[in-house]
Structure 1
């Protein structure tokens, strides 16, 4: 079994501390940077193919309301809400599709006619 010497342990601890301190100083120095725009950094971020490869989700909502007067004068209101979610990959191929339908029925009293 190999043993590490005290000097090796201290050197490793110092290196880890330096990396942690450098990581903590990096965001604070970024805030202190001059206000000149850095166009090259923005262009490299936009050109990464990883952003384009994410699946895209499209949500469509359709609401249908129908009213019907019953024989006794009351009004029946039926609301149908259809939510369609389609997830496509970066080629436009459908990966996942889900359809959720919510139906609500309300019966309202007859309107007062004077």
Structure 2
């Protein structure tokens, strides 16, 4: 059973808060959309050590970094384009601090929101 530490829980809560802030930013800027394109960004970087695996070499350690970037832009027809980029980097080091393995996974999500109603 995997146990999460208080630090991991707080980091996850912070990442969720950043996503919520980005989502709250979207409606407020969409209602007051200027004629020029607008870009807003929110970043969250969290770093935590993953579980150490005793079945592998003794003393190996894995660190996971997560970075989330949210940007939005008003298109010429009034719609809002929201781009979310999530990058997860896993680095495994031996007991001497030498990097044994490194993997990077990037996920990009693009959403087009309808133009706000100006009633």
User: Is residue 72 from structure 1 mapped to residue 49 from structure 2 by the alignment?
Assistant: no
Q: Find 2:65's aligned residue among 60, 66, 73.
A: 60
Residue number among 98, 101, 107 corresponding to 1:102 in the alignment: 107
**In 2, distance between residues paired with 1:63 and 1:111?**
26
Aligned positions of 1:19-58 closer than 5 A: 53-58=58-63
Q: Which runs of 5+ in 1 are unaligned?
A: 1-49
Question: Scaled by the length of structure 2, what TM-score is found?
Answer: 0.51
TM-superposition CA deviations, 1:42-78 (whole Å, max 9, x none) = xxxxxxxx9x933100000000111000011000000
- Computing the radius of gyration over CA atoms, which structure comes out larger, 1 or 2? 1
Q: Which runs of 4+ in 1 moved over 6 A?
A: none
Q: Distance in 2 between matches of 1:111 and 1:54?
A: 55
Report the TM-score when normalising by structure 1: 0.53
The count of aligned residue pairs is: 64
CA deviation after TM superposition for structure 1 residue 112, in Å:
1.7
Q: Whole-Å Cα distance in 2 between the matches of residues 92 and 58 of structure 1?
A: 12
TM-superposed CA distance for 1:96, in Å, is 0.3
**What CA RMSD, in Å, does the superposition of the two structures yield over aligned residues?**
1.8
SS at match of 1:54: coil
